[in-house]
Amino acid sequence: MTTGWTPHPPQPEHLPELDVPPPGRQRRWTVLLRFLLLLPQFIVVAILGIAAFFVTVIGWFAALFTGRLPVGIADFLGGYLAYETRVTASAMLLVDHYPPFSFDAQGHPVRIELRPGELNRLAVLFRLVLMIPAALLTGIVQYGLGAVCWVFWLITLVLGRMPRPVFDAVAAVVRFRMRFQAYMMMLTSAYPKRLFGDGPPEGQPLPPAPAVPSATRPLLLGTPAKALVVLMIVLGVLAWAANETVQIRQESWNDVDAAATATAPFRTS
């Protein structure tokens, strides 16, 4: 699939692909008001996300018995993932194109490609366990991106475009997140990988580029972009640790308050 969702016949394991055009000029007023402009999109994504959760649960049972997602379920989940990825790409300033309220967005520059195939029933059965490492890494890099996204926003606002190293690093995080979601939804049997970009396998050339202009297929990260991804991982770990520490301290204070209340003398007038 490219824009939205197109059923494919059974294929070998295929890692989902993300196509985003090279970074170009962006209108500063849309950069300044990006999150406000996307507020209706966030609401729709949240509502559809609830539906996607229940559809994924149903799909899990179906895939466990049949070894693949039913076409209707794959259609909905694939369309939702394409739509959610377009909204995320716009929010992260990868493109200056407002995403349409549609699963099938013909002509939109952000595209994903999914080629669903047969699923290993054992991998489906233990999907929740298998996806824990990828879920942790996805959460960490999202924490890290959240910590520095305001810096990227300010740079893009001032320059009127996103510098290529920043673009590549953000695109790497968005692509890895999309691949994790596709694996979680059983739209692919391929485990999410290549957070630090693509590289040709030893002795083999890179796969051919898509027909539409794409800066992310292949996604080749230079040293500055890789350094930004490492920075996001470090900041994500620190943010996660700080959040856990705050929660533990809050629970401790709540326990102390509860104990003090329970042992306080009861007075009557």
pLDDT score for 78: 95
pLDDT score for 213: 76
Q: What is d(CA 218, CA 208) in angstroms, rounded to the nearest whole number?
A: 9
Please give the sequence-ordered ranges of beta strands (E in DSSP) within the chain, or none if there are none. Answer: 17-19, 111-113
pLDDT score for 5: 43
Report phi then psi at 208, rounded to 5.
-65, 145
Residue 88 near residue 174 (C-beta atoms within 8 A): yes
Q: What is d(CA 78, CA 14) in angstroms, rounded to the nearest whole number?
A: 14
Q: Mean pLDDT by 10-residue block, N- to C-terminus, for the chain (269 residues)?
A: 45 84 94 96 97 96 93 94 97 95 89 89 94 96 94 96 96 97 95 89 56 83 96 92 69 56 53
Contacts of 106 (CB under 8 A, 6+ apart): 3, 4
In this structure, how many other beta carbons lie within 10 angstroms of the beta carbon of residue 113? 18
pLDDT score for 7: 46
Q: What is the pTM of this model?
A: 0.85
pLDDT score for 104: 86
Total residues found in the chain within this entry: 269
- For 4, 80, 100, 103, the CA distances from 106, given in Å and listed in that order, are 8, 15, 9, 9
pLDDT score for 107: 84
pLDDT score for 1: 43
